[in-house]
């Protein structure tokens, strides 16, 4: 197979143990999977964070199948060396990552012109993939995990090599098809078609259980792509900084009736991938952020990055520091190296002893979508003890996790009874707590998406999705910070112009908040990895932003193309009854037509690549979500495709929400229909509840 040959190895450097590894260029990286000769065996680098050992229940025969599946990527003459190595990885780590094939290259988003590709679109995808695997960006880079504990870019390193090679060979008349990280191949297609079509974790519904996922991932046949990990559109923690900032500010307005959070405490947990943004967001909001993290590596990474301002591993010191910061009304972020359950329980103790409530706002951003595989660490164990138990006795670990969840909720409930305001951050915390038997309220059955505490989508962020607002983002593929600065200026000009045209007040407020965000983003040093930016925008704003960026590429005001995208967590991209569609009350919250239709519609309207995932945010089997990437290369074709794609990408979800009975969505889609005569949406006729009650009295 031509895709697994390297004609001549590049120069080598020593890497320890008497071995040497090639120092790779991008051309080497795109030449194919190196098999002649094989690169020397490579141990994991223990100085970087690693994914927890993955659990599975594979039989002996299935474990043999897993090894055979991995060997399929390599010629038979390599199998004698690789088979025992892959078997050891499966035994020791629960998955075959193929560590030997980790490329010895500075993994980062290189300027687009440096990629050896035949098309600018393929080069843009390479730029995005390497950003997702950048050690400064990725949570567990050597396991190809970008964020969320198990959000994979690929399932193994062979897939990475093959995808990079295929992209380097791709023409505008081919489409690369990926099944859960596996590159099925390049297939003939039309230049107007997507260059990549990605699916992750697509499983027949009856088999979409957590236990089945663990086995399928161990076999190497399915993969959890989270959201923007598996679609190559992650832009570092900047995205969640923006969302968390808006959430905390709106929580203060709604619950505390305050525009200023000075001297107020926001307690949460998690400083890893997505959750790492919480400390930064707290400071931007002007409050006292207290963030617990069990991993010392993750905590110190955020501190060295400057996003976490201080930390301690002593509860007494933490309480003293909270009191001091409250008294002085400091703006700070305090990390606690330890378990957040300990903090919640200590705050209960402080209240019972002194009558002083030391926290006003609370949430949780542990990876509770994956609680029994390292996403949530039980308070009864140290970090190291938990990892050892997870690997040896996963059932005992599961029991401790559920006990810990019950303890955490019990402490939160006691503080909520005396003034704490707590919300679920869409990470399945309340869902898993209820499954563990914790007292989180809410009825079962048709009303099972409701709990004692609200989801931030359902309650705090209000109804912005129904207004068409969601996380729009772009990446300057030149890699030049000056290009990002120019796009920031363009964004403010575009949004201001829309405000000047006369728009509804709620829409204007959203634009004003986002213009403030853009103006201050540079000062807050948001960029980690690629030169990227995020803001919340509606349909009109997204279209005009894309058109302005494309024009700036055409006139060479920007040095390179711009990739536009969004978080899957958006107006139309995700069907998730415990998060994105938690405020859909017509009984369709568990239906996934919207996300699937969005993926298909983006594909034939002009997206450069599209992705559809099982899972994301709340967990595998709980969510269907999709995303896209679109390259703005300054052409009329890019202008046309962006306009068509973005209009659909927003109006689909607004129309669905309107049909479910959302008044804001009805008004929003009605305005959209006046702006484009081709758009004709079915709107509901609302039934009189009293009439329905009379009609069903005898049922």
pLDDT digits (tens, 9 = 90+) for 23-77: 899 999 999 999 999 999 988 998 888 998 998 999 999 999 999 999 999 999 9
Query: What number of other Cβ atoms are within 10 A of residue 550's Cβ?
Result: 28
CA dihedral 290, 293, 294, 297 (to 10 degrees): -130
- To which H or E segment does residue 311 belong? strand 310-312
How do 196-200 and 265-269 pair as beta strands?
A: unpaired
Write down the pLDDT at residue 274: 63
Write down the pLDDT at residue 6: 40
Do 158 and 171 form a contact (C-beta atoms < 8 A)?
A: no
| Cα(266)–Cα(264) distance, integer angstroms | 7
Write down the pLDDT at residue 210: 85
Write down the pLDDT at residue 26: 97
Residues 176, 602, 649, CA angle at the centre, nearest 5°?
145
Can you read off the two tokens belonging to residue 234?
């992650």
Do 470 and 566 form a contact (C-beta atoms < 8 A)?
A: yes
Backbone angles phi, psi at 179, to 5 degrees: -105, 105
Q: Could you read off the pLDDT of 145-169 as tens digits, one per residue?
A: 998 888 999 999 999 999 999 999 9
- CA 505 vs CA 181, 314, 502, 538: distances in Å: 44, 47, 9, 14
| Cα(572)–Cα(568) distance, integer angstroms | 8
Query: What number of other Cβ atoms are within 10 A of residue 619's Cβ?
Result: 27
654 contact partners, CB below 8 Å, separation of at least 6: 466, 467, 468, 539, 571, 572, 665, 668, 669, 672
3-class secondary structure, 21: strand
User: Closest Cα partner for 266 from 431, 58, 421?
Assistant: 421
Write down the pLDDT at residue 20: 57
Query: Could you tell me the end-to-end alpha-carbon distance of the chain, in angstroms, rounded to an integer?
Result: 66
Q: Which residues of the chain have pLDDT under 70?
A: 1-22, 273-275, 442-448, 458, 461-462
User: Closest Cα partner for 323 from 265, 362, 255?
Assistant: 265
| Cα(268)–Cα(279) distance, integer angstroms | 9
Write down the pLDDT at residue 695: 97
Catalogue the E-assigned strands of 128-221. 145-147, 151-152, 174-179, 182-188, 196-200
* DSSP β-bridge partners for residue 578: none
* DSSP β-bridge partners for residue 311: 335
Write down the pLDDT at residue 62: 98
| Cα(163)–Cα(158) distance, integer angstroms | 9
| Cα(463)–Cα(469) distance, integer angstroms | 9
| Cα(286)–Cα(281) distance, integer angstroms | 9
| Cα(684)–Cα(238) distance, integer angstroms | 38
Write down the pLDDT at residue 462: 57
What secondary structure letter does DSSP report for 688? P
Write down the pLDDT at residue 319: 98
């Amino acid at each position: 197979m031509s895709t697994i040959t390297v004609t001549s190895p590049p120069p080598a450097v020593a890497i320890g143990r008497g071995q040497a590894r090639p120092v790779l260029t991008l051309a080497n990286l795109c030449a194919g999977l190196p098999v002649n000769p094989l690169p020397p065996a490579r141990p994991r680098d223990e100085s970087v964070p690693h994914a927890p050992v993955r659990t599975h229940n594979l039989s002996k025969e299935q474990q043999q199948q897993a090894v055979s599946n991995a060997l399929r990527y390599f010629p038979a003459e390599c199998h004698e060396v690789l088979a025992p190595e892959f078997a050891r990885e499966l035994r020791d780590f629960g998955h075959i990552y193929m560590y030997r094939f980790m490329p010895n290259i500075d993994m980062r988003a290189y300027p687009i012109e440096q990629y050896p590709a035949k098309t600018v679109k393929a080069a843009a995808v390479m730029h995005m993939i390497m950003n997702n695997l950048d050690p400064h960006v990725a949570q567990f880079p050597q396991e190809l995990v970008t964020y969320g504990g198990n959000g994979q870019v690929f399932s193994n390193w062979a897939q990475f090599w093959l995808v990079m090679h295929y992209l380097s060979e791709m023409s505008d008349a081919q489409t690369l098809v990926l099944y859960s990280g596996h590159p099925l191949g390049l297939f003939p297609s039309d230049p107007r078609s997507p260059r990549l079509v990605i699916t992750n974790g697509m499983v027949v519904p009856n088999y979409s259980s957590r236990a089945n996922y663990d086995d399928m991932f161990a076999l190497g046949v399915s993969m959890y792509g989270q959201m923007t990990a598996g679609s190559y559109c992650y832009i570092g923690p900047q995205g969640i900084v923006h969302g968390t900032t808006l959430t905390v500010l709106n929580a203060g307005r709604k619950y505390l009736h305050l525009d200023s959070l000075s001297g107020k405490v926001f307690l949460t947990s998690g400083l890893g991938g997505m959750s790492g943004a919480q400390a930064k967001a707290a400071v931007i909001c002007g409050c006292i952020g207290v963030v617990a993290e069990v991993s010392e590596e993750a905590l110190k990474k955020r501190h060295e990055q400057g996003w976490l301002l201080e930390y301690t591993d002593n509860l007494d010191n933490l309480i003293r520091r909270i009191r001091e910061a409250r008294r002085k009304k400091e703006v700070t972020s305090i990390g606690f190296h330890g378990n957040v359950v300990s903090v919640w329980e200590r705050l209960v103790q402080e209240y019972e002893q002194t009558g002083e409530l030391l926290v006003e706002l609370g949430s949780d951003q542990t990876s509770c979508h994956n609680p029994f595989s390292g996403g949530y660490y039980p308070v009864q164990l140290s970090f190291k003890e938990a990892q050892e138990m997870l690997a040896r006795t996963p059932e005992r670990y599961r029991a401790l996790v559920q006990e810990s969840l019950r303890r955490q909720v019990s402490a939160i409930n006691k503080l909520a009874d005396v003034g704490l305001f707590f919300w679920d951050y869409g990470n399945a915390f309340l869902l898993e707590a209820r499954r563990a038997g914790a007292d989180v309220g809410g009825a079962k059955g048709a009303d099972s998406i409701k709990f004692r505490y609200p989801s931030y989508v359902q309650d705090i962020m209000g109804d912005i999705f129904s207004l068409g607002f969601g996380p729009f983002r772009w990446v300057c593929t030149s890699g030049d910070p000056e290009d990002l600065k120019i796009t920031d200026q363009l964004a403010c000009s575009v949004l201001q112009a829309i405000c000047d045209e006369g728009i509804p007040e709620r829409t204007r407020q959203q634009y004003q908040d986002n213009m403030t965000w853009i103006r201050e983003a540079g000062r807050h040093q948001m960029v980690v990895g690629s030169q990227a930016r995020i803001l919340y925008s509606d349909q009109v704003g997204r279209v005009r932003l894309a058109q302005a960026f494309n024009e700036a590429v055409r006139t060479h005001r920007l040095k390179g193309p711009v990739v536009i995208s969004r978080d899957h967590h958006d107006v139309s991209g995700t069907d998730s009854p415990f998060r994105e569609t938690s405020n859909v009350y017509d009984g369709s919250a568990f239906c996934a037509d919207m996300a699937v239709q969005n993926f298909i519609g983006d594909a034939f309207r002009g997206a450069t690549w599209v992705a559809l995932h099982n899972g994301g945010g709340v967990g595998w089997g709980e969510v269907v979500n999709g995303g896209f990437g679109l390259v703005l290369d300054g052409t009329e074709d890019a202008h046309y495709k962006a306009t068509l794609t973005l209009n659909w990408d927003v109006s689909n979800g607004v129309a669905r929400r309107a049909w479910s009975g959302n008044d804001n969505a009805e008004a929003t889609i009605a305005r959209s229909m006046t702006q484009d005569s081709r758009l004709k949406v079915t709107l509901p006729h609302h039934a009189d509840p009293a009439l329905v009650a009379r009609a069903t009295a005898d049922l």
